[in-house]
Amino acid sequence: MSGPTALPERALGPPCVPGAPAAVHAWVTRLTAPNPSMMTGPGTNTYVVGDDVVVVIDPGPPIASHLEAVLAVIGGRSVAAVAVTHHHRDHAPAARSLAAAVDAPVVGRGHSLLSVDVVAEEGSELGASDLGLVAWHTPGHASDHLCYFAPSTGWLFTGDHLMQGSTVVIRPPDGDLSAYLASVARVRDDKRVRRLAPGHGRLLGAPTRAAEEVLAHREQRAAIVLEALRQHGPATAADLRTHAYADVGPERSDVATATCWAHLLALVDEGCATSSSERFDPDAVFTATST
């Protein structure tokens, strides 16, 4: 799910139109689910990857018309796996129905809210004809978040890790900003990555720059949160939100509060703040340290 702040656009390829398959590569077809919203943008992207044998990434929400469209793109081809990037309700709920329809396993990291048939660990390989996929564990947005990398093309299917034109929500306790920043830095530093295929929005070029922009934005926001804490703390995340996210409207108050909390927890990790209680207490009071 997307966050409250827009980032520079580096979009490539056709726009995302729900219900309209888009051949974004010789071996990749994108289908956008009809679930547009403030949080999902034009909708959740499902990718059918491969030639004679395919992997379906993120079948999305349980919408019958979307499932029918995915099955139509698959046609008579064999499906090696129905892979999910993470357990969130806009990405994974249709996985079990699709897997039953095509006689394929559900593959993912696994989560208390998502049962999988095959657990994808860091480095697990998924077959899609000659276009093999490798699972990257990229926690942060969600503890079970995976990206799928195609070494032969340099494509990285990013789910909610990196997306077009927006930051992503980091919602503790399952979300962890410190882990997220490390996972984004991984994309920045891997020069094999040539294209990002996100779970929301269009393809992204210049992946190193896209990752750098996200990291710079988070650094700027961290500075804002820390300064707000120094001026208005000790405070809870909810108390601090209006000061640290003054640019965010009331319609995104819940999202901004969650991300403010994530930033405060990261500041504790960095030694810039202290918390009055255990790590994942939403009512914890944070105080800026003197450093």
Three-class SS of 221-257: HHHHHHHHHHHHCCECHHHHHHHHCCCCCHHHHHHHH
Helices and strands per DSSP (H, E), number in the chain: 6, 18
Q: Are 203 and 194 in contact (CB under 8 A)?
A: no
The string of pLDDT tens digits covering residues 117-157 is: 999 999 999 987 778 899 999 999 999 999 999 999 999 99
Q: Quote the pLDDT of residue 39.
A: 85
Q: Are 54 and 74 in contact (CB under 8 A)?
A: yes
Q: Which residue matches tokens 């208390």?
A: 112
Task: Please measure the distance between the N-terminal and C-terminal CA atoms of the chain and give it in whole angstroms.
Answer: 34
Whole-angstrom distance, CA of residue 195 vs CA of residue 207: 6
Which pair of structure tokens corresponds to residue 150?
């195609």
CATH 3.40.50.300 fits 216-288, yes or no: no
Mean pLDDT taken over the chain: 93
**SS3 assignment, position 259:** helix
Whole-angstrom distance, CA of residue 221 vs CA of residue 215: 10
How many residues are given for the chain?
291
Tell me which fold the domain 2-205 belongs to: Metallo-beta-lactamase; Chain A (3.60.15)
The string of pLDDT tens digits covering residues 199-246 is: 999 999 999 999 999 999 999 999 999 999 999 999 999 999 999 998
Q: Quote the pLDDT of residue 1.
A: 42
Does pLDDT of 110 surpass 80?
yes
Residues 6+ apart with CB under 8 A from 255: 3, 4, 39, 169, 171, 248
Q: Quote the pLDDT of residue 291.
A: 64
Percentage of residues in the chain with pLDDT exceeding 90? 84
Range from 14-18, 111-115, 130-134 carrying the lowest mean pLDDT? 130-134
Q: Are 240 and 258 in contact (CB under 8 A)?
A: no
pTM of the predicted structure, to 2 decimals: 0.93
Does pLDDT of 3 surpass 50?
no
Contacts 24+ apart (CB under 8 A), 186-190: 186/136, 186/138, 187/138, 187/147, 187/156, 187/158, 187/161, 187/162, 187/211, 188/212, 188/215
Domain boundaries, the chain: 2-205, 216-288
Does pLDDT of 12 surpass 80?
yes
Q: Quote the pLDDT of residue 240.
A: 95
Element (H, E) at 168: strand 166-168
Q: Quote the pLDDT of residue 9.
A: 54
Longest dimension (CA), the chain: 64
Q: Quote the pLDDT of residue 7.
A: 47
The average pLDDT across 168-187 equals 96
Q: Which residue matches tokens 């070029």?
A: 205
Which pair of structure tokens corresponds to residue 20?
């309209």
Whole-angstrom distance, CA of residue 80 vs CA of residue 29: 16
Q: Which residue matches tokens 């892979």?
A: 83
Whole-angstrom distance, CA of residue 211 vs CA of residue 147: 14
The string of pLDDT tens digits covering residues 51-97 is: 999 999 999 999 999 999 999 999 999 999 999 999 999 999 999 99
